[in-house]
Amino acid sequence: MIPSLAPAPPQLRFRKVLLKVSGEVLMGDTPYGIDMNTVDGVARDVAEIVKLGVELCLVIGGGNIFRGLSGAAKGMDRTSADYMGMLATVMNALAMQNALERRGVDTRVQSAIPMAQVCEPYIRRRAVRHLEKGRVVIFAAGTGNPFFTTDTAAALRAAEMGCDALMKGTSVDGVYTADPKRDPTALRYDRLSYLEVLSQDLKVMDASAISLMRESGIPIVVFSIRRPGALVDVMLGRGVHTVITETPLAAV
Domain ranges of the chain: 16-173+217-237
pLDDT for the residue numbered 66 = 73
CATH number of the domain located at residue range(s) 16-173+217-237 in this protein: 3.40.1160.10
pLDDT for the residue numbered 64 = 87
pLDDT for the residue numbered 70 = 53
Cα torsion at 20, 24, 103, 37 (round to 10°)? -160
223: CB partners within 8 A, 6+ apart: 167, 168, 169, 170, 173, 174, 230, 231, 234, 239, 240, 241, 242
pLDDT for the residue numbered 251 = 54
Residue 153, classed as helix, strand or coil, is: helix
Cβ(193)–Cβ(248) below 8 Å: yes
pLDDT for the residue numbered 67 = 61
Q: What pLDDT, in 10s, does the model give residues 115-162?
A: 999 999 999 999 999 999 999 999 999 999 999 999 999 999 999 999
Distance (Å, whole) CA 86 – CA 64: 12
pLDDT for the residue numbered 209 = 97
Residue 14, classed as helix, strand or coil, is: coil
pTM equals 0.90
Low-confidence ranges of the chain (pLDDT < 50): 3-4
Cβ(239)–Cβ(233) below 8 Å: yes
Distance (Å, whole) CA 130 – CA 97: 14
Long-range contacts for 8-11 (Cβ within 8 Å, ≥24 apart)? Answer: 8/52, 8/53, 8/54, 9/52, 9/53, 11/236, 11/237
